Structure 1
Amino acid sequence: MSPRSAHAVPTGHIVFLLALGGAAACAGLTSTAGQAATAPTPADTIEARRLFEENIDAIHKRDRARYLATYLHSVSLARNGPAGLELGYENWSARRDSTWPDTLIATNLRVLPISPGIVYGTYCYTVTQRDTTTSGVSERLFVKTPEGWRIAVTTAFGLPVGRPAQCK
């Protein structure tokens, strides 16, 4: 292994960082050189966590309208997983798909303020669907919009079937 490859950033992280920049842009956030950056507010974290819990609760209750309402309805909505990055709300299969997990266990729900109006969230999941149980980690990037808080980025990376959960 070359010294350069020892510090390579995983592709998923690069995509997430690019999406973070896009989310900031779509949320209408700007920075001005020479101005002091403002810190995220506790209210941002509380409101993003509330939306996070709403998103997971909508999955539990199989409430498509509530579930979809938590997402940014934009061409810049980013969805990433093992199949790769997909963009856009209009072409998202979740808008039409009628399948829901039989069970979803979400643990270790965490939120981290990034900057005013942007909060990162993650949780560990165990999901059962059609007699197959998988575990993994899912991420969300929450942005404050004029319409309220929305999810601008969502990811899910599962472990191979049968592998024990290893999420922290």
Structure 2
Amino acid sequence: PGVFAMAAAVCEAIEAGPVEWRAVDVAVVPGITAMLAVAARIGAPLGHDFCAISLSDNLKPWELIELRLLAAAGAGFVIALYNPISKARPWQLGRAFECLTAILPGTTPVIFGRAAGRPDERIEVYLLADVEAEKADMATCIIIGSPETRIIKRTEKPALVYTPRSSTGRTK
């Protein structure tokens, strides 16, 4: 769908293009976003307020990305990161984790999800204090919990990660 995808680019082109383009039929097909697929595979980390932030600075300055990360973490949002790392931007995910570590507890769950729901699926859970940016690539969707997000360890089954639906308002 239209989450950091081409639907917005098409709309931008129509708006900026010749008036005739406004008559073009546009079909944005509903689907499951990466953050929803990853969340479903690990439990319910998006069970309370959350946001999605792209770490790509191709169309916006890095300073704005940092500001948004700090604001979201400071407000207690679960944060889904898209476009976390690339060959041209190998440093940004590490810097994002540095920003978040200044606000969030080291015990905050961080989920790395890749190819959720496909045969080559990889879902891994870390703590913010232990996370390594190098384990991600451009196709990884990262979900950083809020201070209220919890990990339920289970015997003989994968852990569940969830954010309670109610909130104490805790931000650290």
TM-score range, shorter chain: under 0.3
> TM-score with structure 1 length normalisation?
0.27
TM-score (norm 2): 0.27
